[in-house]
Amino acid sequence: MTLTIRTLTGAEILSAVDDLARLRMTVFAEWPYLYDGDPAYERDYLAAFVKAPGGVLVAACEGGRIVGAATASPLAAQEQALRGPVEMHGIDVSEAFYFGESVLLGEWRGQGVGHAFFDQREAQARKAGARIAVFASVVREAAHPDRPAAYRPLDAFWSKRGYAPLDGLTCTLSWKDHRDAAESAKTLRYWSRLL
């Protein structure tokens, strides 16, 4: 079966919140996130994208089932933990769009869906008047015991799309890894490109 790519905005995102929450928990359980998710937290987090003016959810669908999704919204609508470091770096957050997760079930990877996710989010950012796109990727130590031997980071993919790390700029977010009893702080590195 083939995939269709749908772009959802505003209240349309509500219809996909439960599917996206399950998808995030499934994909982010993998390396490098190792996220031990919580459905209630996921729904609350995703509801913020519904409220953000100009927020978008790009869904990859197999029939009626969402098998991949990516989100984006104005950076000004994001929590301070994400917005603050970018502001302190001197970027006007009113001109920036934040690309949230980009999650896709393993069997659909390598078929161009990642490019479609970026294309649609960049188009939405431009439509909203943004001049820069920003996202943050988790940084894990190379010797981490859960790192798969065959793991390939996405840095080359992002670079080919014109993104580059923002001068060592990072933020810290906390979540619970599967092997841990409690949340712990994680470092995320910012990437950006002009639109």
Reduce the secondary structure of the chain to three states and give it as a string: CCEEEEEEEHHHHHHHHHHHHHHHHHHCCCCCCCECCCHHHHHHHHHHHHHCCCCEEEEEEECCEEEEEEEEEEHHHCCHHHHHHHHHCCCCHHHEEEEEEEEECHHHCCCCHHHHHHHHHHHHHHHCCCCEEEEEEECCCCCCCCCCCCCCCCHHHHHHCCCEEEEEEEEEEEECECCCCCCEEEEEEEEEEEC
Q: Which residue has the tokens 């619970």?
A: 176
For residue 1, what pLDDT is reported?
63
Rounded mean pLDDT for each run of 10 residues along the chain, 195 residues in total = 85 80 86 83 75 88 90 93 94 96 90 94 96 96 86 92 95 88 92 97
For residue 179, what pLDDT is reported?
83
The sign of the dihedral angle between the CA atoms of 106, 108, 82, 148 is positive
Q: How far is CA 177 from the centre of its chain?
A: 18
Q: Which residue, 56, 192, 53, 48, is CA-closest to 133?
A: 192
Residue 144 neighbours by CB under 8 Å, 6+ apart: none
Query: Angle at Cα 138 formed by Cα 124 and Cα 132, nearest 5°?
Result: 30
